[in-house]
């Protein structure tokens, strides 16, 4: 009995160390005085070995981030006030040894560049600055809100029915004071 309890404690400790090793998404909401919400975020740990392998093989690798502005509710489901999708993609060109990268916002390409170094590509793919979240209604003064970011990767690797992802997103709350 004692031996099995020690084994369970050891497995839980190992799992918590492995879980702590993956840095979560860093989400930073910024609210202008007029109530406009901008979200900046980075998720370098989302660039997994599987994503790196897909990129190096020359496949088109796409990260689609769903960014939401939400208001918590104690009675019902939290309300979504704004939602937008931003996407980053990379394709490795084996002839030139370079990477073609692009970023899109709600399906519209907003930037496209060539990168020479893999570190630049990882930063490009996992970092977004000042993504606008256009709320359908005005923010209430002294009310609590939060921004969530979720990631979907294409091509998808792993067992698709497994309910736990490597990284499913991040969240940051704020109080709108005006």
In this structure, are residues 147 and 115 in contact, taking their beta carbons and an 8 Å threshold? no
pTM over 0.85: no
25-59: string of b/e by CB count within 10 Å (b at 16+)?
bebebebeeeeebebbbbbeebbbeebeebbeeee
pLDDT at 164 (0 to 100): 40
**What per-residue confidence (pLDDT) applies to 168?**
64
Express each pLDDT in 94-148 by its tens digit: 889 899 999 999 999 999 999 999 999 999 999 999 999 999 888 988 899 999 9
Identify the top-confidence range among 55-59, 80-84, 133-137, 156-160. Answer: 80-84
For the stretch 155-177, pLDDT in tens is 865 544 444 444 468 998 898 88
């Amino acid at each position: 009995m004692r031996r099995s309890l020690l084994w369970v404690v050891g497995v839980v400790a190992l799992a918590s160390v492995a879980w702590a090793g993956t840095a979560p998404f860093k989400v930073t909401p910024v609210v202008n005085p007029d109530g406009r919400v901008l979200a900046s975020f980075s998720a370098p740990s989302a660039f997994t070995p599987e994503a790196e392998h897909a990129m190096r093989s020359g496949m088109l690798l796409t990260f689609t981030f769903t960014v939401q502005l939400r208001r918590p509710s104690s009675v019902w489901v939290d309300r979504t006030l704004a939602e937008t999708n931003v996407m980053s993609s990379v394709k490795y060109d084996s002839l030139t040894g370079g990477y073609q990268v692009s970023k899109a916002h709600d399906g519209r390409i907003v930037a496209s560049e060539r990168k020479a170094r893999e570190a630049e590509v990882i930063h490009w793919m996992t970092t977004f600055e000042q993504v606008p979240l256009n709320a359908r209604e005005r923010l209430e003064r002294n009310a609590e809100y939060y921004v969530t970011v979720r990631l979907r990767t294409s091509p998808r690797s792993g067992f698709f029915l497994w309910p736990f992802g490597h990284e499913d997103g991040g969240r940051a709350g704020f109080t709108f004071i005006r």
